[in-house]
Structure 1
Amino acid sequence: MNFISMRKKSSKQLSQLRIVLIGRVGAGKTGLMKTILRSSKDYKEPDSESHLCVCSNTEKCHKEKVEIDNQEVVVVDTPGLCHSKKTDQEVMEEVKRCVSLASPGPHAFLIVLDEFKFTVELQNMVELIWKTFGKNAAKYALVVFTHKYELLDQSELGKADEIIKHKIKENSQLQQFVSECE
């Protein structure tokens, strides 16, 4: 996953790249945010880990801005869907607020998944995302798989890309969802 190289392929350079992370509780959105932010040579880890923790309890939106390869990148972390104490509709209200932090609008929705099974829970989550932002949001969506060390055997890590593609093809619903995300 390299957003900067994706941007460089386009003939028109954006003054700012705005990314919104969406996924269920514990999928790895905050960890992915930290990984993106660390791509900036100027990014400084916060003094307090509670500022941007790698945990499954993001309750409110969190926005960070860094420069990567002369490109301003805004990353917005959102609360997780499939929350045990809140309804998905309550969480989506906060997610909608989060999207406003990427004003005038996100260039990309990163839908963060931590498994290859397209469960009913994930199907419902995706339907809620499309219902909230419109089916057109799929044009700006990318699927990111996290937790590869937990998803794959140690022997598979060297061939992770091939294996992930194979696992997507094995599950027709997951394959359809990934292909919807242009």
Structure 2
Amino acid sequence: DAQHLSELRIVLMGYRAAGKSSTGNTILGSEEFDLKTSAQCVRRHGEVADRHITVIDAPGWWRNKSVKKSPKKLKQEILLSVSLCPPGPHAVLLIIDVDDRFKEDERKAFQGHLNLLGKRVWSHTIVLFTRGDYLLDTSIEQHIESEGQDLQWLLDKCGNRYHVLNNKNRSDDTQIKELLEKIEQTVAQNNGCHFEVDRTILQKVVGGK
């Protein structure tokens, strides 16, 4: 069974304009993150549902551009994001706007940028769909099915862990409590461990190689 953790460390990753910063604000229950695009990681803290929460908002990549087209600085920031909440994040949330199409280019972009952190990161990831209000009467399962194989591939890679967030409905704190419980379940599936990036990967990046 998942244990209630008094502290949770979360990294938000995804493409630009997917709703990463608003997600950070929804999780923390206050306007902690500026909604402007930032070229650097931003770290904020808060007390939520009897837990101390640290959220790192990593800069986003272009939605359908491969990792090869991302500037070196962006790749460095993605790598540094997981070391800004020592000893490492309990979960990496992959932010996807439910209203954006998700095809092969988007999948490759997620795959390439996440793989910068090493293969082990995938067992600590959860797909987080933003703008859940856009689904209207469609269930998230129906939406996933209609998007096709690329989104399904990403979900499979994340152990089929996903959550839907309505960033406009901040008063609904059950959606955040459920998300925090899913993060605790993810930690339990990893034998109580958080994600730690391989030191050799970090050294290469900090060394600018």
8 Å contact kept, 2:103–2:151: no
What CA distance in whole angstroms lies between the structure 2 residues aligned with 1:63 and 1:17?
13
| Residues in 2 aligned to 1:121 and 1:89: alpha-carbon distance in whole angstroms | 20
Q: Could you say which residue in structure 2 is the equivalent of 1:172?
A: 149
1:47-126 matches, within 5 Å, as 52-55=33-36, 57-82=37-62, 87-114=70-97, 115=99, 117-126=101-110
Q: Does 1:14 align with 2:10?
A: no
Shift of 1:89: 4.1
TM-score, normalization: structure 2? 0.65
- Segments of 5+ residues of structure 2 without an aligned counterpart are 160-209
What code does the residue aligned with 1:169 have? E
Matched to 2:87, the amino acid is P
Q: Which residue type is aligned with residue 107 of structure 1?
A: H
Give aligned-pair identity as a percent: 29
Q: CA deviation at 1:101?
A: 0.9
Note the C-alpha offset of 1:120.
3.5
Q: Give TM-score scaled by structure 1 length.
A: 0.74
Cα deviation for residue 136 of structure 1 reads 2.0
What RMSD over aligned residues (CA atoms) do the two structures have, in Å? 2.3
| C-alpha contact 1:81 1:88 (8 A) present in aligned 2 | no
Looking at structure 2, the residues matched to 165 and 89 of structure 1 have their Cα atoms a distance apart, in angstroms, of 36
Structure with higher helix content: 1
One-letter amino acid matched to 2:143 = K
The CA deviation at 1:129 is: 2.9
Structure 1 residue runs of 5 or longer lacking an equivalent are 1-8, 47-51
Kindly tell me the number of residue pairs found equivalent between the two proteins.
153
- 8 A Cα contact 1:116 1:167, kept in partner: no
